[in-house]
Amino acid sequence: MSSATHTHGSHGSSSQSGEVQPLVGHLVSYPTLLATGTTLLLLTIITVAVRYVDLGEANIYIAIGIAVVKATLVSLFFMHLRWDRPFNLLVLVGSMLFVILMMCFCMMDVGQYQHTFIPGNPSAVQMQLDTTAPGAPITLKR
């Protein structure tokens, strides 16, 4: 069996001539890796910068949106998912879908019974405050 027939990394323009090819798996080029890393760093700087701009509600969505883009970059390029078997991608996306499912159902429910929570300090917190920090302003917030 010649290993050439089984070279995984032969597609794409990434393979540099004269370099050893792996028996299995995909080879990602240095420029791709470096570009991914740089983009991730840039996005980090952007997301920190946006924090200091008050956009109200939008801030959180921008922050999460940037995080999703970063996560996609990491999984596609660093984790080789772009070249990997589709089933592995399905495993990752599927697990995330189940997290979203859990979040949606739980949030829908909590949203419905939220008005039943008693505002103010919970009982054990109030007892703690009365003994250790009776002067704290929060002591009064019943």
| Binding residues among 57-86 for another protein as defined by CB under 8 A | 59-60, 63-64, 66-67, 70-71, 74-75, 77-79, 83-86
Residues 138 and 141: their CA atoms lie apart, in Å, by 5
Closest approach, Cβ 2 to another protein, in A, equals: 11
At closest approach, how far in Å is the CB of 8 from another protein? 6
> Which positions from 113 through 142 interact with another protein, judged by CB under 8 A?
113-114, 116-117, 119-125, 128-129, 132-138, 140-141
CA distance 69 to 88: 19
Q: Rounded to the nearest whole angstrom, what is the least distance from the CB of residue 116 to another protein in the complex?
A: 8
Indicate the length of the chain as a whole number. Answer: 142
CA-CA distances (angstroms) from residue 102 to 17, 61, 95?
49, 20, 11
Binding-site member from 12, 25, 31, 46 for another protein (CB under 8 A): 25
What separation in angstroms does the CA of 80 have from each of 9, 13, 70, 89?
A: 11, 15, 14, 10
Please, what is the minimum distance in Å from the beta carbon of residue 13 to another protein?
15
